[in-house]
């Protein structure tokens, strides 16, 4: 079988390699998955102007974000449980991101803890925070991230409560606790012996490295969901940004903004950046796609902070589309997870090489030689940049 090259190829390969409960956990969204689907289709529908004879011999996709020069305007989004998709997956992904010259963002709910990832890394990576009730614990976590030299803090605000994801119930990841749940997942793992050996056995421990101290020895997946429900702090408000600032002085990026009013509030609260995101269609089904929400958010903050976006980016061409809609950079979630599941560190590195090449080609064919050249002028329909207002 030929090596995977496109997102669809990696997804097919990941489906083949992962037990069903894990593939569905990554692949799925909330409720009817309408927002998940629209993240992809709205972005793919953005048409670009093809330009010619503009000397695009040197194309440079490098950019600067939060004090660091990146080889391309892309970062690996925080994804929970990544250590379950390949052995010690977060350590493999951070190395692949470094090789590609872009940041890796470690999730609060990763398998590998901050220290383990820091050992694997040679450059600063980003850390993502969920607001947890135990503020003393958060303070310790932030201090640890700062001491390990994390380059930015990504504070995720679109999950005060977890969205309902039907697929997780159908697959046996959620709702099937105790022996029955273990048996179902064990049966699915047994049908994927390569995964069972590489991750299931050799990849242990499977506990959530960063939150293990507050999980008090519970390690099962059903404990994880119960812990999220009981410990994520739905009472958090904008005032908590002050609390975070007491323990974190580096760049602060607020992730999960879709609304222009919230974007202004993030700027007022002193954030350095935001991520326009609906959590990959995993939270409020029916929320706007990232591509539709982005232009109005960019208008609202009028250059006061850096704007990243995620949701539905499946290629380098999609990266250029998001930039044309006003983003300074993008995060990718499922693309790196499927590449990780398919081929570990090498899989992610290869996927990122292809993505960079695609960005270069899309830039050349739209007549852009630098990232700064990409703006709404390359949209075939300039109205797309105000698409959220029109519909």
CB of 124 to ligand FNR, least distance (A): 18
The answer to whether the Cα torsion of 20, 97, 8, 168 is positive or negative is positive
In the complex with ligand FNR, the residue whose CB is nearer, 70 or 77, is 77
Q: How many residues does the chain have?
A: 391
The set of residues, in sequence order, having a beta carbon less than 8 Å from that of 211 and lying 6+ positions away, is 108, 109, 132, 227
Q: Where are the alpha helices (DSSP H) in 153-259?
A: 166-171, 178-190, 193-195, 212-215, 221-231, 240-247
Residues 296, 260: contact at Cβ < 8 Å? yes
Contact 257, 304 (CB under 8 A): no
Taking the C-alpha atoms of residue 323 and residue 310, their distance in angstroms, rounded to an integer, is 11
For ligand FNR, the closer CB: 334 or 350: 334
Q: What are the residues whose beta carbons fall under 8 Å from the beta carbon of 182, sequence distance 6 or more?
A: 220
For helices 290-301 and 316-324, the axis angle rounded to 10 degrees is 40
Kindly give the interhelix angle for 334-365 and 7-17, rounded to the nearest 10 degrees.
Answer: 170
- Of 56 and 74, nearer to ligand FNR (C-beta) is 74
Between the alpha carbon of residue 254 and those of residues 90, 146, 263, 353, the distances in Å are 22, 17, 9, 28
Backbone phi, psi, residue 7, to 5°: -55, -45
Cα 177 to Cα 58, 86, 220, 222, 310, distances in angstroms: 57, 24, 9, 6, 32
Site residues (CB under 6 A) for ligand FNR? 25-26, 39, 77-80, 107, 109, 128, 156, 255, 277, 279-280, 282, 310-313, 331-334
Token digits of residue 87: 């052995």
86 is catalytic: no
Cβ atoms within 10 Å, residue 92: 24
* Residue with Cβ nearer ligand FNR (209 or 367): 209
Q: Which positions are catalytic?
A: 279
């Amino acid at each position: 079988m030929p090596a995977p090259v496109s997102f669809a190829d990696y997804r097919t390969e990941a489906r083949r390699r992962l037990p069903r409960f894990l593939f569905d956990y990554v692949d799925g969204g909330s409720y009817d998955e309408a927002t998940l689907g629209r993240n992809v289709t709205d972005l793919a529908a953005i048409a670009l102007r093809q330009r010619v004879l503009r000397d695009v011999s040197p194309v440079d996709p490098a950019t600067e974000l939060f004090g660091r020069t990146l080889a391309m305007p892309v970062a690996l989004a925080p994804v929970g449980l990544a250590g379950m998709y390949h052995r010690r997956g977060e350590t493999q992904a951070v190395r692949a991101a470094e090789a590609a010259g872009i940041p890796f963002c470690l999730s609060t709910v990763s398998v590998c803890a901050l220290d383990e990832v820091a050992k694997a890394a040679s450059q600063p990576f980003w850390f993502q925070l969920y607001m947890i009730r135990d503020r003393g614990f958060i303070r310790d976590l932030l201090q640890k991230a700062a001491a390990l030299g994390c380059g930015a803090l990504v504070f995720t605000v679109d999950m005060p409560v977890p969205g309902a994801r039907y697929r997780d119930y159908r697959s046996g990841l959620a709702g099937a606790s105790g022996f029955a749940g273990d048996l179902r997942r064990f049966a699915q793992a047994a049908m994927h012996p390569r995964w069972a050996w590489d991750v299931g056995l050799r990849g242990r421990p499977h506990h959530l490295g960063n939150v293990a101290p507050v999980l008090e020895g519970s390690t099962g997946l059903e404990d994880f969901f119960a812990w999220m429900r009981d410990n994520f702090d739905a009472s958090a408000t904008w005032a908590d940004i002050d609390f975070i600032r007491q323990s974190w002085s580096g760049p602060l990026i607020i992730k999960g903004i879709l609304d222009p009013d919230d974007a202004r509030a993030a700027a007022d609260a002193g954030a350095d950046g935001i991520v326009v995101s609906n959590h990959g269609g995993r939270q409020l089904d029916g929320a706007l796609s990232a591509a539709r929400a982005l232009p109005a958010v960019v208008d609202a903050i009028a250059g006061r902070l850096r704007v990243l976006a995620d949701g539905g980016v499946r290629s380098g061409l999609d990266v250029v589309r998001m930039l044309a809609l006003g983003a300074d950079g993008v995060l990718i979630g499922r693309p790196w997870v499927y590449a990780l599941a398919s081929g570990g560190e090498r899989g992610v590195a290869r996927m990122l090489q292809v993505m960079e090449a695609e960005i270069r080609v899309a830039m050349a064919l739209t007549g852009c030689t630098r990232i700064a050249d990409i703006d709404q002028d390359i949209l075939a329909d300039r109205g797309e940049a105000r698409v959220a207002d029109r519909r």
